[in-house]
Copies of this chain bind each other. A is one copy, B any other.
Amino acid sequence: MTKTKKREVDLRMRGFEQVCRQAGIKLTHQRIEIFREVAQTGDHPDAETVYQRVRERIPTISLDTVYRTLWRLNDLGLINTLGPPRERTRFDANLEQHHHFVCVRCGLTQDFYSEELNGLRLPKSAKALGQVESTHVKVYGVCRGCVDMEKTKRSSTRNKEAKPCPRN
């Protein structure tokens, strides 16, 4: 159904092989099939789903290999996670329509408001997918706190490992 074009898949596979070689990690049968599975589907499978699908081709593969591989691919920048990786569910009592600024360093998520963004015009490609109900903008970047921290660190001599700003 939501399937990626063959040409695009081939392109991704080549990128994958190149990055792996460059990073000096092995191109195992399992890794190849796991990446292929994620690359060729337009849906956004979780680890369990990838496992089930790859198992049809490699019946002996184990779920933990799928987990390890997916995170490895993520670290290599070959795939991304949908939503915040490795995080627990978080709650929000702000019911007004609003948007989020998410710090890529520390995970701090701050609300902001914008009439303009609330009434965002969407392209046909988006409207074609279904009945639109609402629109939400996520801005990724480095929050004030983390920017300041970096400045401090660079100017001072004492730079231990970056302590992330409080996750909230």
Is A162 interfacial (CB 8 A cutoff)?
no
Interface string of A65-94 (1 = CB under 8 A from B): 000001001100111111111111111111
B133 and A135 contact, CB distance less than 8 A: no
Oligomeric state, in copies: 2
A123 and B117 contact, CB distance less than 8 A: yes
Between A84, A95, A110, the greatest number of chain B beta carbons within 10 A of the residue's beta carbon is seen for: A110
Is A164 interfacial (CB 8 A cutoff)?
no
Dominant SS among interface residues on chain A: mixed
Is A55 interfacial (CB 8 A cutoff)?
no
Chain A interface size range = 35 or more
B38 and A92 contact, CB distance less than 8 A: yes
Q: How far is the CB of A148 from chain B (nearest CB, A)?
A: 10
A139 and B112 contact, CB distance less than 8 A: no
Q: Kindly state the separation between the CA atoms of A82 and B86 in the bound complex, as whole angstroms.
A: 14
